[in-house]
């Protein structure tokens, strides 16, 4: 009789394991946006940036949202950098970067996404691309010539940056810790499930990078554990010329500034934009 009971026990165990697997997969699918976007919903203060001439502005999106952003007009005819940050925090976490660009006379539009920094709405790929388009449309109204516009995308913001650069005339595109697609990075981190097939906000930069018609700079840390450098290399390989790749051997995902990334950006802009 024991021989008849053993298969039943195995079936029960197998069924339990499959059910648990299904719960995990279902949970990751349902809560995937909570795993992708980590907004700080507090509204940041300009603080000492106001003394530099940075001001709060409102971006109006095509779907009717009014979003906070920070804008510093350029000096001495310098380019304007439209900056799209990563998936965590808000634009106030990048104030040191804005300050550094300002010291060199660059204009900066530090865009903010829906659902971040007290902005209305919920972040999605469609929404973030609409937010980015609103930022570039504002710069066009400000009279910034396309050849003096630089789009800078950091981490998740690189997906926004590539999508915009594929549609707009710009002077240069800078990508810091970029990926080929969110789907491929998700599959890397969740290799035990078909993660790539489940991702809704795919930010498929690999499919879009070929449409960019401006010089491209890709920046990546070789010890990046969040977006491994192989994703940045793959995107760089697919990008059209002219393009440049800058790697920091000891850098991870969030510490590229310590290893000279700002100096690399300045050098690129000096040579490519002037």
- State both tokens at 261: 């990334």
Specify the 3-state DSSP secondary structure of 245.
strand
Pick from 163, 195, 157: nearest CA to 31: 195
Round to whole Å and give the CA distance between 103 and 149.
18
Percentage of the chain exceeding pLDDT 70: 89
Q: What's the chain's average pLDDT?
A: 92
Q: What is the pLDDT of residue 263?
A: 97
Query: Contacts by 154-157 with C-beta closer than 8 Å and gap 24+?
Result: 154/83, 154/84, 154/85, 154/86, 154/94, 155/85, 155/86, 155/87, 155/226, 155/227, 155/253, 156/36, 156/85, 156/86, 156/87, 156/182, 156/203, 157/83, 157/84, 157/85, 157/86
- Looking at the chain, the number of H-run helices and the number of E-run strands are 10, 10
Architecture of domain 39-272: 3-Layer(aba) Sandwich (3.40)
Rounded to two decimals, what is the model's pTM? 0.91
Q: Kindly state the average pLDDT of the residues 38-44.
A: 97
Report pLDDT for 195.
86
Mean pLDDT value of segment 225-241: 98
Residue 247 and residue 150 in contact, taking contact as beta carbons nearer than 8 Å: no
Give CA angle at 167 (121, 231), nearest 5°. Answer: 80
- Partner residues linked to 176 by β-bridges: 154, 219
State the maximum Cα–Cα separation within the chain, in Å, rounded to a whole number.
Answer: 90
pLDDT digits (tens, 9 = 90+) for 93-148: 999 999 999 999 999 999 999 999 999 999 999 999 999 999 999 999 999 999 99
pLDDT: which is higher, 70 or 10: 70
Q: Tell me the pLDDT tens digit for each residue of 80-94.
A: 999 999 999 999 999
Rounded percentage of the chain residues whose pLDDT exceeds 90: 83
pLDDT of residue 34: 82
Give me the residue spans of the domains in the chain: 1-30, 39-272
């Amino acid at each position: 009789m024991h021989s008849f009971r053993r298969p039943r026990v195995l079936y029960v165990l197998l069924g339990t394991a499959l059910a648990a697997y299904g719960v995990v997969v279902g949970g990751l699918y349902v809560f995937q946006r909570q795993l992708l976007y980590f907004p700080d919903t507090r509204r940041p203060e300009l603080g000492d940036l106001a003394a530099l001439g940075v001001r709060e502005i409102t971006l109006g999106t095509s779907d009717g949202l009014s979003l906070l952003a920070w804008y510093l007009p350029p000096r001495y005819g310098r380019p304007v950098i439209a900056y799209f940050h990563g998936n965590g925090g808000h634009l106030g976490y990048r104030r040191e970067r804005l300050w550094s660009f300002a010291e060199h006379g660059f204009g900066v539009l530090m865009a903010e996404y829906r659902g971040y920094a007290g902005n209305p709405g919920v972040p999605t790929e469609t929404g973030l691309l609409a937010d980015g388009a609103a930022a570039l449309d504002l710069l066009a109204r400000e009279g910034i010539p396309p050849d003096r516009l630089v789009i800078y995308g950091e981490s998740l913001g690189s997906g926004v940056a590539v999508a915009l650069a594929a549609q707009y005339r710009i002077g240069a595109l800078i990508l810091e810790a970029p990926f080929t697609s969110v789907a491929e990075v998700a599959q890397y981190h969740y290799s035990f499930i078909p993660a790539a097939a489940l991702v809704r906000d795919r930010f498929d930069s690999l499919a879009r990078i070929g449409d960019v018609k401006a010089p491209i700079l890709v920046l990546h840390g070789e010890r990046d554990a969040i977006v491994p450098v192989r994703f940045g290399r793959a995107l760089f390989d697919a990008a059209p010329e002219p393009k440049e790749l800058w790697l920091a051997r000891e850098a991870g995902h969030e510490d590229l500034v310590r290893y000279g990334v700002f100096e690399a950006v300045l050098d690129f802009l000096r040579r490519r934009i002037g």
